[in-house]
Amino acid sequence: MSLPALKRPHLAAKPFLPYGRQVIEEDDIQAVCEVLRGEYLTTGPAVGRFETALAKTVNAKHAIVCANGTAALYMAARALGLGPGTRIIVPSLTFLATASAPHLNGAEIVFADVDPDSGLMRPQDLAEAIGRAGHADAVFNVHLNGQCGGLEEIGQIARANGLKIVDDSCHALGTAYFANNGAPSLIGENTFCDLSVFSFHPVKAIAMGEGGAVTANDPDVAAVLARTRNHGMTRNAVEFANSQDAFEAESRPNPWYYELVEPGFNWRANDIQCALGLSQLAKLDRFLARRRALAVAYDELLAPYAPRLKPVARQESCLPAWHLYAVQIDFPAFGLTRAAFMRALAEEGIGSQVHYFPVHRQRYYAERYGVANLPGADRYYARALSLPFFASMNEDDVERVVRTTTNILGL
């Protein structure tokens, strides 16, 4: 028996808008299908091609692709020798992985405060955290929402204190930074840091399903990163220490031989992921242009409601590749909780999310280190909300989100 179609004009007129999502087009699907019809499902030619294209995109000498951004952060910590006995400064306003990945390599984490209006770690926050730590070995800075700020000063403070610098650039593929003399550089180029880490999770600028990468300019560090991704083993004959088993009589390497330098995990990305990544990377400029236009549309429509409802503070030194459209809402001033507001938005088919609950308050870290006084992180978190933002949205969607938001807030 066939049933009549259920008429739901309310839902049909208002498709659900998640806070973020991938944009997959027919040629992306074709690219993946080609890999599935071919020889390699794991490491094949698409891996190297993606690495070359990514390095070129961000102006880095080397890009090492891997399973996801978390693996990339771990690999970065390992490649820089940030293991047991070391201390790493991490801004509290970030995703768990910025702290947990290097911590799992043995480092202890010292959380830094952030600017309450942008969520970014400021130079003075880094200096304060180094002072509190007594001694630190590295900083993992975070380009929250796709913005960056104070990179030159952060670099100077880090270098003066002997810290290595890893930029967690998972939000910031395509972001540009302007130094104090006006010189532009791309995030990933590593002008003011040692390594940059990216994620290609579906809500990011480009999607690989799961995927991540580290960019590096030092070829030796790049080699360690590549080895770390692949069980900590090497097939490079010049690195072999066990010559008796590695080589034939005429010092030719045995064709089957590989050597374990230090134990590692399998954090390889495969050809299926990289074919999708390559196809998506070719669209990065278009996706970013769309995201920037959407951000302008949001900014204009929200302008009358500041300061109770406003976008996160902008950094003059940055041309962001917006990853999220994050606003700051003074919920108590509107007499409602964030949870009630998010539920009301969801009832209207609009998704939202909080980026992030400060990591220094997360159960594990609070139990391990106690809860430091980081008022900027607390204040940013109290007002944070990410509204729908992805490259296939249009200006009507933005208008709908702003209208619904202001209606619920009684504006």
- Binding residues vs ligand PLP (CB under 6 A): 68-70, 94-95, 97-98, 142, 168, 170-171, 199, 201, 212
CA dihedral 127, 132, 136, 140 (to 10 degrees): -60
φ, ψ dihedrals at 124, nearest 5°: -65, -30
Nearer to ligand PLP, 208 or 391 (CB): 208
Q: Of the candidates 20, 83, 45, which has an alpha carbon nearest to the alpha carbon of residue 264? A: 83
Q: What is the 3-state secondary structure (H, E, C) of 219-278?
A: HHHHHHHHHHHECCEECCHHHCCCHHHHECCCCCECCCCCEECCCCCECCCCHHHHHHHH
Minimum distance, C-beta of residue 336 to ligand PLP, in the bound complex (Å): 28
- CA distance linking residue 313 with residue 381, whole number of Å: 14
Nearer to ligand PLP, 111 or 331 (CB): 111
Minimum distance, C-beta of residue 75 to ligand PLP, in the bound complex (Å): 12
Q: Which amino acid is at 285?
A: D
Minimum distance, C-beta of residue 123 to ligand PLP, in the bound complex (Å): 20
Minimum distance, C-beta of residue 117 to ligand PLP, in the bound complex (Å): 19
Nearer to ligand PLP, 172 or 297 (CB): 172
Nearer to ligand PLP, 362 or 405 (CB): 362
Residue nearest to ligand PLP (CB): 69
Beta carbons of 144 and 325 less than 8 angstroms apart = no
- Inter-axis angle of helices 69-79 and 96-104, to 10 degrees? 40
Minimum distance, C-beta of residue 231 to ligand PLP, in the bound complex (Å): 19
Nearer to ligand PLP, 151 or 309 (CB): 151
The H or E element spanning position 327 is strand 325-329
Nearer to ligand PLP, 170 or 297 (CB): 170
Radius of gyration of the chain from Cα atoms? 23
Minimum distance, C-beta of residue 411 to ligand PLP, in the bound complex (Å): 30
Nearer to ligand PLP, 70 or 317 (CB): 70
Q: Which amino acid is at 359?
A: V
Neighbours of 350 (CB within 10 A): 22
Nearer to ligand PLP, 68 or 228 (CB): 68
Burial of 223 (C-beta count, 10 Å sphere; 0-12/13-18/19+) = middle
Minimum distance, C-beta of residue 100 to ligand PLP, in the bound complex (Å): 9
Nearer to ligand PLP, 66 or 275 (CB): 66
Minimum distance, C-beta of residue 104 to ligand PLP, in the bound complex (Å): 13
Nearer to ligand PLP, 142 or 319 (CB): 142
The SS3 call for residue 186 is strand
Minimum distance, C-beta of residue 307 to ligand PLP, in the bound complex (Å): 26
- CA distance linking residue 382 with residue 391, whole number of Å: 27
DSSP category for residue 319:
E
* C-alpha separations of 30 from 22, 65, 276, 305, 330 in Å: 16, 21, 9, 45, 46
Angle at 285 between CA 284 and CA 287, to 5 degrees: 65
φ, ψ dihedrals at 398, nearest 5°: -60, -45
Minimum distance, C-beta of residue 129 to ligand PLP, in the bound complex (Å): 18
Minimum distance, C-beta of residue 382 to ligand PLP, in the bound complex (Å): 20
Nearer to ligand PLP, 201 or 268 (CB): 201
Beta carbons of 155 and 185 less than 8 angstroms apart = no
